Structures are given as structure tokens and as C-alpha cells.
């Protein structure tokens, strides 16, 4: 399972990564702090799960 975390708070990323390591040790967790980079990683990495911080500054690419 591939997981992508788009989050600017390192402590939250660490907590999410730990939770996946405990429950699903085979999971590969990747993270980025930037919304635009997250969009690029979704396209290039094809993750099974994306966890997105909705409080990130809105970029022209990310529209809610």
C-alpha cells in the first residue's frame, strides 16, 4: 500500500506515519509540505491513499 501525506506540520506527518507503520507495516508512506508537489506526486506515485491537509494555503491547482 502506498500512502501520500500532504501536510505542512512535521509532527502530524510523523504521527500518521507511525500509525501506518504500526497497523500496516508494509505501507510505504511518502510526504510533502507543498500542495503543488503533492499534486505532482499523486500523478507520478499513484498512491492508494492520499491524506490532505485542508488548511494548506490554496494554490491555483488545488480548488475546493
Grid coordinates representing 27? Answer: 505501507
For the full predicted model, state whether its pTM sits above 0.95. Answer: no
Q: Which pLDDT score, from 0 to 100, does residue 20 have?
A: 97
C-alpha cell at 23: 497497523
pLDDT tens digits for range 1-56: 999 999 999 999 999 999 999 999 999 999 999 988 998 999 999 999 999 998 88
CA distance 1 to 26: 7
Q: How far is 11 from 33, CA to CA, in rounded Å?
A: 12
Phi-psi region of 46 (alpha: psi -120 to 50; beta: other; left: phi over 0): left
Amino acid at each position: 500500500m502506498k500512502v501520500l501525506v500532504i501536510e505542512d506540520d512535521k509532527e502530524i506527518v510523523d504521527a500518521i506515519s507511525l500509525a501506518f507503520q504500526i497497523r500496516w507495516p508494509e505501507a510505504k508512506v511518502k510526504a510533502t509540505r507543498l500542495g503543488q508537489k503533492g499534486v505532482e506526486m499523486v500523478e507520478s506515485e499513484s498512491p492508494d491513499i492520499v491524506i490532505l491537509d485542508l488548511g494548506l494555503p490554496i494554490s491555483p491547482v488545488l480548488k475546493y
